[in-house]
Amino acid sequence: MSVEIEQKKYRNFINGEWVPSNTGEVLESRNPADADEVVGYVQKSSKKDLDDSVKAAKGALRSWKKRSSVERGQYLYKVADILESRLDEVAETMTREMGKTLPEAMGETARGVAILRYYAGEGMHKIGDVIPSTDNRALLYTTRASLGVVGVITPWNFPVAIPIWKMAPALVYGNTVVLKPASETAVTAAKVLQCFQEAGFPSGAVNMVTGPGSVIGQAIIDNKDINGITFTGSNETGKRIGQGALARGAKYQLEMGGKNPVIVLEDADIDLAVEATISGGFRSTGQKCTATSRVIVHRSIYDQFKEKLLYRIDEITIGDGMNEGIWMGPCASESQLNTILSYIQKGKEEGATLIKGGKQLTDGPFEKGYFVEPTVFEHVKPEMTIAQEEIFGPVLALMKVDSIEEALTIANDVEYGLSASIFTTNIQHMLSFVDDMEAGLIRVNAESAGVELQAPFGGMKQSSSHSREQGQAAIEFFTSIKTVFIK
């Protein structure tokens, strides 16, 4: 057993070296499609490990930020090339660690490569403006300063793309980084960090410490040498991070949950809307913060839409995401499966009608994994738990409405405001939706899940700390503006 552990063991990356935690303990990462398979062992680190990594990041800061952003971008181009050459290996690790299908994992890894190249190029873009001064002998302009050491706390649902879309801009804008990846997907994170290591970053510029969120995440919140914290994950953890960061004056950025609606109006292309609902609701087993979870349909087309939706669900192939032809993999973990099943139970208890799925799959190829059927409820009332809380699983709540006004009232009647989609051919309805929908991502005739790396990403209401990630928006978090007056 100990030989097997040694072969599959991943260490922390601190100050340019792979080092074991001082605790001597490891965490197991298991395959959710076959819980007998251990994908790897990662360090169960302590606060001391995290503090060591912050020391390294602080030590590297001065020389890293003194380089030009163009030079920093060159390092990101190298990481992109290395990751691209390992795309298969990284994607396979992702599928085995958290269950999304291999084609999706490959798509995400390719996205990671593209994000690295995008931010490498951002190193050549302008970072300030010249502003006319009232004094005609003065030069008034803005420039940007890096924050310093940035703590990056990431979830398991996009284990390559999310760490990269936080680390790449942090680095190109002159910050040094400590990554604490989700424990569920820490092996995938280690493989990404190997690419950073091989790109030859100066020691300490990029670090990774694995271990429980309650210990390592908390140590990031508490460490006074971390100047900014960027987080994606649950609302509960996000609020804790926001409060902790605020209390010691650190900058923070939180991307959290969603309860994303799709509205299907009487003049919609129904087939298109059905495909988008299937894809938005069930790809990645519904475990995307932008996943569709509420389906608000005009009464006049409700039956037709429902019939087509249920027909398409029957075509979904479920199984181990490593196998060809599988469209939907397992839930990422046993606890995620149990959460989803408890929401399904709540839906039944509160009086919604289960019209598809609803059960855990346990026989034959499903025996050792955490599989659940694609699930649909109808007669869902807006105040029911399954219409209000983020489920993060393949569960849709169907609701019937008589008008776009009613649809918008229901769509906005939740705490969240991440992504929202509408299907209509009526331009007035499109514009009303753009104006009145309370969401950071507005999608017209397209599924709720779907982001472009060059555009700002983030939510309204409880979905975020009201900042934006990705695209050029990232500069706002990872730098501070300096206003300069020279006479």
- Report if residue 208 touches ligand NDP, rule: CB under 6 A: no
Among 232, 260, 279, 464, binds ligand NDP (CB under 6 A): 232
Of 162 and 376, nearer to ligand NDP (C-beta) is: 162
Is residue 188 at the binding interface for ligand NDP, with CB under 6 A as the rule? no
Q: At what angle do helices 69-85 and 102-122 cross, to 10 degrees?
A: 160
Longest dimension (CA), the chain: 80
From residue 227, alpha-carbon distances to 101, 243, 437 in Å are 37, 14, 34
Q: Which of 92, 122, 184, 255 is catalytic?
A: 255
**Which region, judged by CB under 6 A, interacts with ligand NDP, from 237-245, 268-276, 367-375, 396-404?**
237-245
- Using rule CB under 6 A, residue 97 touches ligand NDP: no
Residue 206, φ and ψ in degrees, nearest 5: -130, 130
Active site residue 331: no
Residues in 281-300 at the binding interface with ligand NDP, rule: CB under 6 A: 289
Nearer to ligand NDP, 73 or 217 (CB): 217
The residue annotated as part of the active site, out of 92, 97, 289, 390, is 289
Q: Does 237 bind ligand NDP (CB under 6 A)?
A: yes
The number of beta carbons lying within 10 Å of the beta carbon of residue 38 is: 14
324 is catalytic: no
Number of residues that bind ligand NDP (CB under 6 A): 27
Cα–Cα dist 179/226, whole Å: 12
Contact 330, 362 (CB under 8 A): no
Radius of gyration of the chain (CA): 23
Q: Is 214 in the site for ligand NDP (CB under 6 A)?
A: yes
Q: For the CB of residue 218, give the shortest distance to ligand NDP in the complex, in Å.
A: 5
Q: How many residues does the chain have?
A: 487
Q: Does 342 sit near ligand NDP (CB under 6 A)? A: no
- B/e letters for 337-352, b = 16+ CB within 10 Å, e = fewer, are beebbebbeebeeeeb
Q: By CB under 6 A, which span of 17-25, 32-40, 227-235, 464-472 interacts with ligand NDP? A: 227-235
Q: Contact 318/327 with Cβ under 8 angstroms?
A: yes
Contact string (CB under 6 A) for ligand NDP, positions 116-155, x = contact: -------------------------------------xxx
Q: Does 184 bind ligand NDP (CB under 6 A)?
A: yes
Residue 480 DSSP class? E
Q: Are 316 and 277 within 8 A, CB to CB?
A: no
* Contact (Cβ atoms closer than 8 angstroms) between residue 199 and residue 82: yes
Which phi and psi (to 5°) does residue 306 adopt? -60, -45
Q: Rule CB under 6 A: is residue 390 a binding residue for ligand NDP? A: yes
Of residues 94 and 256, the one with the C-beta less far from ligand NDP: 256
Write out the residues near ligand NDP by the rule CB under 6 A: 153-157, 180, 182-184, 212-214, 217-218, 232-234, 237, 240-241, 255-257, 289, 339, 390, 392
What are the catalytic residues? 255, 289
